[in-house]
Amino acid sequence: MTHLPATRREMEQRGWGGLDVILVTGDAHVDHPSFPAAILGRALEADGWRVGVISRPDVQDPESVAVFGPPRLFWGVTAGALDSMLANFTALRKRRSDDPYAPAGRGGGRPDRAVAVYVNLIRRKYGRDAFVVAGGLEASLRRFAHYDYWSDSVRRPILLDCGAQILVHGMGEGPVLEIARRIAAAGGPSLVRPEDFSDIPGVAWKAPRSAKPPEEAVGLPSAEDVASNPEKHVLAFRLQEEHPQERMWQDAGGMRVIANPRWIPDTAELDRLYGLPFTREAHPMYGGAEIPALEAVRFSITTHRGCFGGCSFCAIGAHQGKTVTSRSLDSILAEARWLARQPWFRGTISDVGGPTANMYGMRCRKSTPCARPSCLWPAVCPALKTDASAYKQVLRMVSEIEGVRHVFVSSGIRMDLALLDDELARLLALRHTSGHLKVAPEHVSADVLRLMRKPAGNHFEAFLRKHREFSHAAGRRQRVLPYLMAAHPGCRLEHMFELMRFMEREGLIVEQCQIFTPLPGTASAVMYATGLDPWTMEPVFVEKTDRGKRMQKACILRHLPESRRLLREARSLLRKRRDSGSEID
């Protein structure tokens, strides 16, 4: 197995005089299914197309995208696995010095607003006739007017800013394969129009505002209304969340963006994708430099896609959708056996899971989509099949493969589901925890958890008790590692002190936590931008000062010396507010 070509020489070594598709990405060139360009490229290759990858081109030099010459069919442009602004900036809008998807983890090689920058780079070299398909997380979450935290403004749909002919949102493998087939069947990109792809799931395109609105489609408030009217902003979000299987359109200036519902793969399609011949290595051009994001997942197995948790702040559900598609047991075992045969495999599979590990094999009893944003909040939906037997079987059978000594779960466990199955909780504690088990309670305050759409705090407490009980019975010293968040909309200092007291009582110490960052397309970003609860339209407190955010974070990292001064300041502020009889604001 070899990597997809990254240089003209590699292309020519395959006997190719040119390429059908060129993928441009902000990530390092890594042949692992967790890297978007790799799985898209391998899928196209398996479909018979000649594919190359241009990784992190020099945005000052248009020749950096001329490595292979122009593609016969189209350019595929992605910022990479992350939104480029999230990758480049901290929650306090400070520029990052690191990038886990870069060689040696060094930051600075991925441009801000990478999708638009890369498309412009292609245009500078090859002109307006180059056919460009934008995709990936950045394009997906920004397909309609959205709040952009880094400019503190509502920006119009990215398709109108980046200059691509069409956009693919959500999971892109299925749509991209069909786009390639259509362009080839038409005789080339000069013979197709964006409307020629209008029946492909996951595709978005633009049309004049004066055109007749598409039939049987949901019209969103215009980009101008979203930017100027908080209620319209909320309405635009609610319509998208409550009608995930409908075509939608939105006007912006003199143009209109139309988007089909996302593509949802079936089990056979996922099996084919994850059965492609990945090397799980970085391209040799990096000279062996470590890619931190690869090291984190090199020995992992993805079991499913989609997440029905519906957390307000999470990009996964907004991108992949709430329908969970699980790979077959045979497909997962084949991948595990392949891993076990590799000379660099050390006997440990670091993760067997997906967006949430123990959602594998779970599905809705109903066959029709519903408007409910979460299958687990405010309580587990009675239509959801929560049987974890399929996931337990996966863990057991992967563990039995010759050469596999350890199978761990590190992608995160949904606690409310785990509490429904003592056997799974016991298995996790006994065999599948590598020192610590990751869970994501995020908070314990009922007020904050409601806005986050997370299960009540007593779920976290109950899970801690159960995991400790089972770990002790197994004679293992291990702990739960909770992901906790500061400064989410609705979260005040009082709530953070409530969380801090809980952590002290439970003996919880974490070395890292996150300050909330509003991600485009999420409910929490809408709260942050509008100051409204999207479901009740009641006002929501939003902490927008850096000092206030740091004080909230210090409550989680209370044990660190650098938190002491911030905690003193926070306590003083609380006393003053309490003495004056006013609330924190």
The pLDDT tens digits of the residues spanning 90-142 come to: 999 999 999 999 999 999 999 999 999 999 999 999 999 999 999 999 999 99
Q: Is 98 helix (H, G, I), strand (E, B) or coil?
A: strand
Residue 561, judged by CB atoms within 10 A of its CB (0-12, 13-18, 19+), counts as exposed
Fold classification of 435-585 is: Transcription Regulator spoIIAA (3.30.750)
According to the model, what pLDDT value does residue 1 have? 67
Question: Which residue, among 145, 234, 236, has the nearest Cα to 531 in the 3D structure?
Answer: 234
The class that CATH gives domain 8-204 is alpha beta
According to the model, what pLDDT value does residue 581 have? 72
> b/e map of 37-49 (b: 16 or more CB within 10 Å)?
bbbbbbbbbebeb
> CB of 81 within 8 A of CB of 139?
no
pLDDT under 70: residue ranges of the chain: 1, 582-585
According to the model, what pLDDT value does residue 580 have? 80
CB within 8 Å of 34: residues ≥ 6 apart: 81, 293, 294, 297, 300, 302
Find residue 251's DSSP bridge partners.
256
Question: Taking the CA of residue 334 as centre, how many other CA atoms within 13 Å lie in the half-sphere pointing to its CB?
Answer: 12
Predicted TM-score (pTM) of this structure = 0.96
At residue 149, what is the residue type? Answer: Y
> b/e map of 102-140 (b: 16 or more CB within 10 Å)?
bbebeeebbbebbbbbbbbbbbeebeeebbbbbbbbbbb
- Nearest-5° angle of CA 180, CA 184, CA 189? 85
State pLDDT tens for residues 481-498: 999 999 999 999 999 999
DSSP, res 22? E
Q: Where are the beta strands (DSSP E) in 145-220?
A: 146-148, 153-155, 166-168, 203-208, 217-219
Structure tokens at 97: 């010095």
**CATH topology match: 8-204 vs 435-585:** no
Structure tokens at 306: 């989609």
According to the model, what pLDDT value does residue 585 have? 41
Alpha-carbon distance of 55 to 488, in angstroms, equals: 34
Domain spans in the chain, listed from the N-terminal domain onward: 8-204, 299-434, 435-585
According to the model, what pLDDT value does residue 148 have? 99
Instruction: Given CATH 3.90.105.10, say whether it is the number of domain 299-434.
Output: no
Alpha-carbon distance of 106 to 11, in angstroms, equals: 28
- Nearest-5° angle of CA 150, CA 148, CA 87? 55
> CB of 200 within 8 A of CB of 177?
no
> CB of 67 within 8 A of CB of 40?
no
CB atoms near residue 582 (< 10 Å): 9
